[in-house]
Amino acid sequence: MIEIDGSCGEGGGQILRTSLSLAAVTGTPVHFTKIRANRKKKGLMRQHRICALAVSEITGGSLSGAELSSQEMTFLPGKIRGGEYHFRTGSAGSAILIAQTVIPVLLYGEKPSRVVLEGGTHVPGAPIYEFFQRVYLACLRRMGAEIDSSLLRTGFYPVGGGKVVLEIRPVREWRSLELTDGGEKIGGRVVAAGSGLDPKILEDEVEITREKLGMGCDWKTETLSADSPGPGNVLFLELVRRNITELFSVCGEVELSRKVVAERVAAMAKRYLASDVAAGRFLADQLLLPMALGKGGAFTTLPPSLHTKTNEEIIRKFLDAKIEMNNRKDGTFLIEVKK
């Protein structure tokens, strides 16, 4: 049984999610202590609990201590079973983070799976659906995964109520992912979407972003009305390059003005564009697990976040994969996953 100290590194929910996925794939029992110890609300929140219950159901495993706010839990995985699954957070807890927990597991199922997820799809502190679909899944497909997704309903914080459907086929052959050069820009767009908001808010977010980035006429802009059971807002910038698509987003919150939302998106995009790396910091964090399970590879990125470094530490507890983070001395890094 592997012992996982939930206070190590960034001390958040990612430690739990990565460990659950790898425990299921490797068939290794795992014991968690100090779950989410570095968060204001410690222990299992709804989204984290659903991740544990989902992986347990998929593997026919057993859980003890999987109650809300619990800081200690044991997971004994069974055999991975493909099929039909439906998981609900019952809140605005991120359906996308649940998806990223169960996908690596179901790629090792004995048959295809269909997974319905209900919860938040555009919430602070988690990848938004468009990033998940256009960036994360696109990279997994290049690695050999066969996954389709669809957004049936948008879920903003705090109401949630979003709905995502995944179609996952067992991986047949992994391929190495090589993303050392993003390539030239092919296209880009700025999108502001909202539900129950004054359309002027969305228009202003797009216009402020354009001004901050000095965008030319080759950038597309859109404002969209989202089908959601509750009010909410998201602004994102999508950049399509020859070798990769990247996306930067901010979800609107009550205390955030439209100006702040736009400035934050513009700042993230500016830093990425100025660096000439392939993978942004958030994508770098999320690529490590599938690359370590698959054939490895390499990508250029900005200085690794504490999330990325913590993820690497957890992966090493389960897999014999060597992850090297090499400073290229120009403010960028080359991360290599060697199998």
Residue 199's pLDDT is 96
Residue 132's pLDDT is 98
307: annotated active-site residue? yes
170-193: pLDDT as tens digits: 999 999 999 999 999 999 999 999
Which structural domain range is residue 116 located in?
A: 84-173
Residue 76, C-beta contacts closer than 8 angstroms, at least 6 positions apart: 29, 61, 62, 63
Please state, in angstroms and rounded to a whole number, the distance separating the CA atoms of residues 217 and 207.
Answer: 13
9-21: pLDDT as tens digits: 999 999 999 999 9
Stretch 218-237: mean pLDDT? 95
**CB-hemisphere CA count at 13 Å for 183?**
12
* Proportion of the chain above pLDDT 90, given as a percent: 95
Stretch 49-66: mean pLDDT? 98
* 269 and 286 assigned to the same domain: no
Q: What is the CATH number of the domain that holds 131?
A: 3.65.10.20
Q: What is the CATH number of the domain that holds 289?
A: 3.30.110
* 152 and 128 assigned to the same domain: yes
* 310 and 251 assigned to the same domain: no
pLDDT band at 29 (very low <50, low <70, confident <90, very high): very high
* 133 and 154 assigned to the same domain: yes
Q: Does the pLDDT of residue 218 top 80, yes or no?
A: no
Q: Phi/psi at 283 (nearest 5 deg)?
A: -65, -40
Residue 217's pLDDT is 64
Q: Does the pLDDT of residue 216 top 80, yes or no?
A: no
Last residue of a domain, one of 246, 274, 302: 274
Residue 329's pLDDT is 84
Last residue of a domain, one of 138, 153, 173: 173
Q: Which of 48, 86, 122, 307 is catalytic?
A: 307
* 281 and 270 assigned to the same domain: no
Tokens 């003890």: give the residue: 64
Whole-Å CA distances, 78 to 10, 75, 84, 220: 29, 10, 17, 48
- How large is the greatest C-alpha to C-alpha distance in the chain, in angstroms? 57
* 3-state percent helix, strand, coil for the chain, nearest multiple of 5: 35, 30, 35
Last residue of a domain, one of 229, 246, 274: 274
* 313 and 249 assigned to the same domain: no
Q: Does the pLDDT of residue 219 top 90, yes or no?
A: no
* 251 and 289 assigned to the same domain: no
Instruction: Look at 25 and 91; give whichever has higher pLDDT.
Output: 25
* 327 and 254 assigned to the same domain: no
Please state, rounded to an integer, the average pLDDT across all residues of the chain: 96
Count up the domains in the chain and report the number.
Answer: 4
* 5 and 47 assigned to the same domain: yes
* 270 and 195 assigned to the same domain: yes
310-335: pLDDT as tens digits: 999 999 999 999 999 999 988 899 99
* 51 and 89 assigned to the same domain: no
Q: What is the CATH number of the domain that holds 242?
A: 3.30.360.20
One-letter amino acid at 64 equals S
* 261 and 338 assigned to the same domain: no
The distance from CA 319 to its chain's CA centroid, rounded to whole angstroms, is 21
